[in-house]
Amino acid sequence: MTHRLTRSALLALTLLATPARADVPEALDKDILPGFAGFTAATATLAEAAQADCDPQALRAPWNAAFDAWLEVAHLRMGPFEEAGRGLAIAFWPDPKNIGGRQMAAMLQAADPALLSPEGTAQISVAARGLFGLERLLYTEAAQANPAYACKLTAALAGDLARMAAEMETAWTGPYGDLLRSPGAPGNATFLTEAEVRQALFTQLLTGLELDAANRIGRPLGSFDKPRPERAEAIASGRSLTNVARSLAALHRLAEALAQGLGEIPATEAAFARAQTLAAGLDDPVFASVADPSGRLKVEILQQAIEATRAAAETELGALLGVSAGFNSADGD
Amino acid sequence: MQRRTFLTSLAAAAATPRLSWADAGSPAYLAAARRPGGDYALFGLDAAGAPLFSQPMPARGHAATSHPTRPEAVAFARRPGTFALVLDCARGVVTARLTPPEGRQFNGHGAFSQDGSVLYTSEVVAEGSAGRIGLWDAARGYARIGEFASGGIGPHEIRRLPMSDDLVIANGGIETDPSDRTPLNLDRMRPNLSYMTPEGVITEVIELPDLARNSIRHLALRPDGLVAFAMQWQGDPAEPVPLLGLHRRGAAPVLAEPKDEEMFAMQGYAGSVAFAPGGAEVAITSPKGGRLQVFSATGAPLWSVARADVCGLGPCPAGGFVVTDGVGLVARADQGVLSPMASSNVSWDNHLIALG
């Protein structure tokens, strides 16, 4: 009944080789790295424009292009996203206590010149930086408290965003991407097996779908008795539904990249197609209709379609990749 | 285990001389796990993280507690638990099987009295989740000898204070459906940390009124009596809240806030808590966030490491912490660096129990 395992037996277990598969390099080269290159380019364009002219009207187009580019990679909440709080600093939402808004008001009041240098801007709270910090300056009345400082802060935050985007791309094309490509290599304590890499990317896909359904749609939906349209994402810029649609498109590509060469995922494809069609057909850009029964129903149907996509991907793609939800993370105790 | 094997084991145990933890190979840790075939077991691990022995369990385990002198461990079923097994780790036999009284459920944790004569188990009344501490006679075959109230709803971990027979209990505050763990009272939950005498007289209760939805669930104790408590947030996931508290009897609790950039890294969930050797550092793990966060014993954030599905956590005698995960890894985490120690083809469950 008692099993005494020798070290050599253990070693043999860990050395069981898994055949090389193409899914991870496919996903990296065809989806992830181009996405980060696009985000770097879009934020660099925004930073240059903001440096030349901080007029909010003129910066809205490059800001939207940067947000679009972010949604291509925003679901990759691992590695460079987590380091130095970059993911939070790039897009701090949801923010139910309006920490970002309060910090922005305080900065405009204090008008501290030290925050305008690259080093200074990087020290600003994650809640007040990034795309949502810029949205407050470009789309709300906040800047009117101190237009001169707001102008300089706009350029500083755009530069900070471009810096973070470039750092993420550098990490993904270099050291972090290498970790995904070389699981189990000496010194790679992040990924010990190829299965762990697949598990990590698969988790990003499922979490991305969960956050679209639970946050981007679920927060404004609230409950039937207490709808919360004011909690939708990026209301000031009118991007709430756009963000859902673009996120779904990016997640769809990640799912296809992961499945490529391994097999077909017809149920997942059908579920994505349905959710994306519903999002494209919804005439409610900031989910303002959630307080109205018929409008609410359409938003709920989109949410359910995204939840169904997650369920399909978990079952179908999970089986294809040979991975499943974490043993402890799914336990909850 | 077959009844005949069980009786034979008992007879063998009675016929042989008294054994110590050295006769069990001096394991450094205990951990429950799922094996590749889908069955469950309790493992003893050496200081390098390699399995020394394993003992089958009839269903998924959660935590375990070790007898202070005998090489004996009590392994608890996952909540809502219907069994706990007393294991003779030297002989590799089950010496007793504990079943909660009618209408009670084990909650996955227990603790021994200082002399090892009494086992205390964390339990709930199945209907309503009122907390109970069950008492079992560890000197005479683990007969049920009594129970008292835990001081709250849904108690989870129970620990004995160092150099004392007083107890500290994490009353999680969550009333659950008796059959499926569905929470029923999130809008009115009141978790607390309760201290009590071995007779069940409550001597101190700590509540966090501003964080009523932060379920206090797991505990670690420093030899000087400092209690670290780990929490699980049941409120809005978009609200950043501390998940680790530190408390010394008679003083106000200190909440450990993570660094700004890590405020959501744990996804509102801490699954295990432990002090490092020396007690200057204390850590919490989150399998949901895939993160170990380390704080000073005064609550200041120090360092963290990322690892998917990490949960089991204990001190590493060489410094820092030992962590386990759901894909069989045992690793040392020290000063922000994760170093694999051993890998087994099992899924390590929520807790790593340090012995000795």
> DSSP per residue over A231-253, as a string?
GSTTTTTT-HHHHHHHHHHHHHH
| pLDDT bucket at B274, cuts 50 / 70 / 90 | very high
| pLDDT bucket at B228, cuts 50 / 70 / 90 | very high
From first to last of its 333 residues, chain A has per-residue pLDDT tens of 334 434 333 333 333 334 445 689 989 999 999 999 999 999 999 999 999 999 999 999 999 999 999 999 999 999 999 998 999 999 999 999 999 999 999 999 999 999 999 999 999 999 999 999 999 999 999 999 999 999 999 999 999 999 999 999 999 999 999 999 999 998 898 899 998 999 999 999 999 999 999 999 999 999 999 999 999 999 999 999 999 999 999 999 999 999 988 999 999 999 999 999 999 999 999 999 999 999 999 999 999 999 999 999 999 999 999 887 788 888 878
Q: Check which CATH number belongs to the domain holding B321 and give it.
A: 2.120.10.30
Residue among B52, B264, B269 whose CB faces A4 most closely:
B52
Residues B158, B113: contact at Cβ < 8 Å?
Answer: no
Residues B174, B153: contact at Cβ < 8 Å?
Answer: yes
Residue among B91, B232, B236 whose CB faces A96 most closely:
B236
> Alpha-carbon distance A258 to A23, whole Å?
5
pLDDT at residue B11 is higher than 50: no
CB contact under 8 A, B338 and A196: no
Q: What is the pLDDT of residue B17?
A: 65
> Alpha-carbon distance B334 to B321, whole Å?
6
> Alpha-carbon distance B84 to A316, whole Å?
37
Q: What is the pLDDT of residue A333?
A: 82
Query: Which residue, among B262, B285, B311, B338, would best test binding to A if mutated, counting the most A CBs under 10 Å from its CB?
Result: B311
How many other CB atoms are found less than 10 A from the CB of residue B328?
A: 22
Q: What is the pLDDT of residue A212?
A: 98
Query: In terms of pLDDT, which residue wins out, A10 or B139?
Result: B139
Q: Across the beta sheet with B281-286, what order do the strands follow? A: B272-275, B281-286, B291-296, B301-306
Radius of gyration of chain A (CA): 22
CB contact under 8 A, A94 and B238: yes
| Residue B225 forms part of a structural domain | yes
Domain A23-181 grouped into CATH 1.20.1420.20: yes
| pLDDT bucket at B181, cuts 50 / 70 / 90 | confident
| Residue B100 forms part of a structural domain | no
- Domain interval for residue B283: 215-356
Residues of B in contact with A4 (CB under 8 A): 25, 52-53
Residues of B in contact with A10 (CB under 8 A): 50-51, 342-344
How many other CB atoms are found less than 10 A from the CB of residue A217?
A: 25
Residues A285, A242: contact at Cβ < 8 Å?
Answer: yes
CB contact under 8 A, B308 and A215: no
Residues B188, B215: contact at Cβ < 8 Å?
Answer: no
Domain boundaries for CATH 1.20.1420.20 within chain A = 23-181
Q: Which is it for strands B143-153 and B130-137: parallel, antiparallel or unpaired?
A: antiparallel
Distance from CA of B261 to the nearest CA of A (A): 4
The count of domains in chain B is 1
Residue among B54, B217, B326 whose CB faces A3 most closely:
B54
Residues B146, B45: contact at Cβ < 8 Å?
Answer: no
Q: What are phi and psi of B245, to 5 degrees?
A: -125, 155
Average pLDDT for residues B246-274, to the nearest whole number?
96
A95 touches chain B (CB under 8 A): yes
A199 touches chain B (CB under 8 A): yes
Q: What is residue B319's DSSP assignment?
A: S
Query: Which residue, among A190, A194, A328, A331, would best test binding to B if mutated, counting the most B CBs under 10 Å from its CB?
Result: A328
Cβ burial, residue A119 (10 Å; 0-12/13-18/19+): exposed
Average pLDDT for residues B136-140, to the nearest whole number?
95
> Alpha-carbon distance A162 to A22, whole Å?
32
Q: How many CB pairs under 8 A join A and B?
A: 118
Average pLDDT for residues B271-298, to the nearest whole number?
97
CB contact under 8 A, A192 and B343: yes
Residue among B265, B309, B337 whose CB faces A326 most closely:
B309
pLDDT at residue B247 is higher than 50: yes
Q: What are phi and psi of A242, to 5 degrees?
A: -55, -45
Considering only alpha carbons, which residue of chain B is nearest residue A325? Answer: B309
CB contact under 8 A, B53 and A3: yes
Residues A25, A51: contact at Cβ < 8 Å?
Answer: no
Residues of B in contact with A79 (CB under 8 A): 306
CB contact under 8 A, B308 and A203: yes
> Is the peptide bond between B80 and the residue preceding it cis, with omega within 30 degrees of 0?
yes
Helices (H) then strands (E): counts for chain B: 1, 28
| Residue B228 forms part of a structural domain | yes
Domain boundaries for CATH 1.20.120 within chain A = 194-321
A223 touches chain B (CB under 8 A): no
A322 touches chain B (CB under 8 A): no
pLDDT at residue B178 is higher than 60: yes
Domain A194-321 grouped into CATH 1.20.120: yes
> Alpha-carbon distance B334 to B331, whole Å?
10
Cα dist. A332→A40, A90, A323, B182 in Å? 38, 29, 19, 11
> Alpha-carbon distance A198 to A97, whole Å?
36
Q: What is the pLDDT of residues B65-103, one digit of tens each?
A: 999 999 999 999 998 889 999 999 888 889 999 999 999
| Residue B24 forms part of a structural domain | no
| Residue B329 forms part of a structural domain | yes
